Structure 1
Amino acid sequence: MDRFRAVLGLLDAVGCTYEVKETQAAGDAARFAAEAAAETVDAVAVAGGDGTINDAINGFHPATPPLGLIPLGTANVLAHEIGLATDPAAIAAALTAGRCLSVVPGQANGRRFMMMASVGFDAHVVGGVRRSVKRRIGKLVYVLSALRQLLRYPCPHLTALVDGRPVTAATLVVSRGRLYGGRYVMAPAADLATPEFQVSIFRRKGRLAMAGYSAALPLGLLNRWNLIDHVVARRVEVHARPGDPVQADGDTATALPVVIDLADQAIEVLVPPDSPVPSVGASRKTTCLERSYGA
């Protein structure tokens, strides 16, 4: 937690006031966010990973202050997406002098997500991850889970409706942003500022195909070799294999059948002053912090 303490020190140095609230269980971050009043708080800064951010945004309402990030997680996908570095000075600058990016989250059966949701093999891998192991070994936990799922899950075809059009695939990743699992590019044309999804379609079924996809992702070959297809959409429905997991932002969010669509409320996200993403708004001076040891 040295990074967290360093960020607080920098906020102190420029005269920011803040309140630290530590989460103890799922739902705490959402409750803290819902309680943050725009009249007294300029930003809700989430210290943790993408899972903690996901929890928090499910408590946002129209009067909630902008979302700020203190990335402390395993992958920090949203932080990478907006160009936020992990050094304390960059984090503090985003919180105190950042610009606002308006992002319409996705939602899976009504639960919001900021970056991506998926069904099929990918969701089974995420569902097989134990948080206690993830804290000890980091991203390696996903490799181990993938190996287990290749033995257990048959990787069959699923039939989905993508904006009403039938699609057959073994895995679907429905993305709001370009990145996945950290800095890996999954959906190259996705744009947080545009309220739509880029749906990545893994068409080949079976364990061997999934092993190949899994190896290609970190090597940057999924898109370079055109191993997957992409379509732009605003709604995805999957009714196959009831009870199978659906992952969102790196955690199991719900189960099949699922409807994935856009939320009806945009969330303002504080991005670095030099972020490559388009944004509008003024700097923020005070911060409410949420800290989680479970992300």
Structure 2
Amino acid sequence: MASTSRFTRVALVVNAASRTGSEAYDEAHRRLSELGVAPDVAYPVRDPARLGDVLDSVTADGCDLVVVGGGDGTLSTAIDHLARHDMALGVLPLGTANDLARTLQVPAEIGAACETIANGKLVDIDVGGMGDQTFCNVASIGLAVGVTRALTPGLKRRLGPLAYPVATMRAYRQHRPFTTYLDFPDGDHESIRVDDTIAVAIGNGRYYGGGNVISPDSGIDDHSLDVYVIPRGTARERIGVVRRVRDGSFVDHDHVIHVTTARIRLRADPEQPINLDGEVVASTPQEFVVHRNALDVLVPEDSTAAAHDG
């Protein structure tokens, strides 16, 4: 049985509007209490618009462990409010994709996730930044924005993870290519222009889109962003890329531009909306950075996703 000696005040915040959130709140509260990590304050948030206010309240309340239940959008919002504060994050994966939990090797089952929070180890992870906003998994323009808009709550409830390929097919039929401009303020790469682009992604974590790998060497503790650009190309080239998306080896395809960097400026013509961890929040042009070791997170003892660098 775990003790609470390493945390003095615990908060539980669950997005009760997420795919499994309403059932998970009571179970998580009970199980954490049984494991010796009883929440001092607990919030089942049924209106997602209130999530930011609740997290601000928790931050001001002096909690040093915040357990957040929800999907990647909820966790991205949480990281926005918790990063660079003296507190730790516990993850309860309650969404459709759960890519951050997958990156951190946190188990999907609620009881096992609570065990991780009670008995796991503390690591610090990198967080992606865009202006005053943050992201844990990926920022993207192009096809991914269309996928996000096609991923309606009803589609996710009906199909679960299978909603992603269905939404991708719908988005592709409506997509219009654009020109991409990549600039590197630190001078580590020459500027890049790509005409007839269908997708650009800037990855901080390892997974996105329900378990697709950003690149074979990507990680949330490598202090860099993985950037890839996919031009439209021929049907044969597109099929070759799609076949290699799941394991991330598509970035080695001759048709794909892939670089790693700590800072990048992204422009597009015409201007493109930007998706951060499943939420369309801004538009190009924007600059992206990696914030090293910005957040402490609890992961399983055998997780190899990150270390604690201090």
Q: TM-score, normalised by structure 2?
A: 0.78
1:196 and 2:221 are equivalent in the alignment: no
Matched positions, count = 281
AA aligned to 1:262 is V
Q: CA deviation at 1:131?
A: 3.0
Q: Which deviates more, 94-103 or 223-232?
A: 223-232
Q: CA deviation at 1:278?
A: 3.5
1:167 and 2:188 are equivalent in the alignment: no
1:119 — aligned with what?
141
AA aligned to 2:279 is D
Equivalent of residue 17 in structure 1, options 38, 46, 49: 38
1:30 — aligned with what?
52
The superposition leaves residues 61-119 of structure 1 with CA deviations (integer Å, 9 ceiling, x where unpaired) of 54352111000111100101111111234211221122222123112243100111112
1:83 — aligned with what?
105
What does 1:67-106 correspond to in 2, within 5 Å? 67-106=89-128
Q: 1:28 to 1:210 in 2, by over 3 A?
A: farther
Q: 1:136 to 1:142 in 2, by over 3 A?
A: same
1:147 and 2:169 are equivalent in the alignment: yes
Cα contact 1:155–1:206 (8 A) shared by 2: no
Q: 1:64 to 1:128 in 2, by over 3 A?
A: farther
1:267 and 2:295 are equivalent in the alignment: yes
Cα contact 2:121–2:300 (8 A) shared by 1: yes
AA aligned to 1:183 is G
Which is bigger in relative contact order (C-alpha 8 A, separation at least 6)?
1
Q: CA deviation at 1:266?
A: 0.9
AA aligned to 1:76 is N
Alpha-carbon RMSD across the aligned residues, in angstroms, is 2.9
1:286 — aligned with what?
none
AA aligned to 1:188 is P
Q: 1:142 to 1:184 in 2, by over 3 A?
A: closer
Please give the alpha-carbon distance, in whole angstroms, between the structure 1 residues aligned to 2:211 and 2:165. Answer: 16
1:237 — aligned with what?
265
AA aligned to 1:15 is G
SS of residue in 1 equivalent to 2:82? coil
Please give the alpha-carbon distance, in whole angstroms, between the structure 1 residues aligned to 2:304 and 2:65. Answer: 21
Gaps of 5+ in 2: 1-19
Q: 1:223 to 1:256 in 2, by over 3 A?
A: closer
2:63 — aligned with what?
41
AA aligned to 2:150 is G
Cα contact 2:107–2:113 (8 A) shared by 1: yes
Q: CA deviation at 1:126?
A: 1.9
Q: TM-score, normalised by structure 1?
A: 0.82
Q: CA deviation at 1:276?
A: 1.2
Cα contact 1:156–1:205 (8 A) shared by 2: no
Q: CA deviation at 1:57?
A: 1.5
Q: 1:40 to 1:96 in 2, by over 3 A?
A: farther
Q: CA deviation at 1:190?
A: 1.9
Please give the alpha-carbon distance, in whole angstroms, between the structure 2 residues aligned to 1:92 and 1:223. Answer: 35
Cα contact 1:116–1:174 (8 A) shared by 2: yes
1:257 — aligned with what?
285
2:308 — aligned with what?
280
Please give the alpha-carbon distance, in whole angstroms, between the structure 2 residues aligned to 1:252 and 1:212. Answer: 28
Please give the alpha-carbon distance, in whole angstroms, between the structure 2 residues aligned to 1:219 and 1:277. Answer: 16
Q: Which deviates more, 2-11 or 147-156?
A: 2-11
Q: Which deviates more, 69-78 or 252-261?
A: 252-261
Please give the alpha-carbon distance, in whole angstroms, between the structure 2 residues aligned to 1:141 and 1:251. Answer: 16
Please give the alpha-carbon distance, in whole angstroms, between the structure 1 residues aligned to 2:123 and 2:254. Answer: 31
SS of residue in 1 equivalent to 2:223? coil
State the identity as a percent: 23
1:287 — aligned with what?
none
Q: CA deviation at 1:27?
A: 4.7
What does 1:55-66 correspond to in 2, within 5 Å? 55-60=77-82, 62-66=84-88
Cα contact 1:77–1:180 (8 A) shared by 2: yes
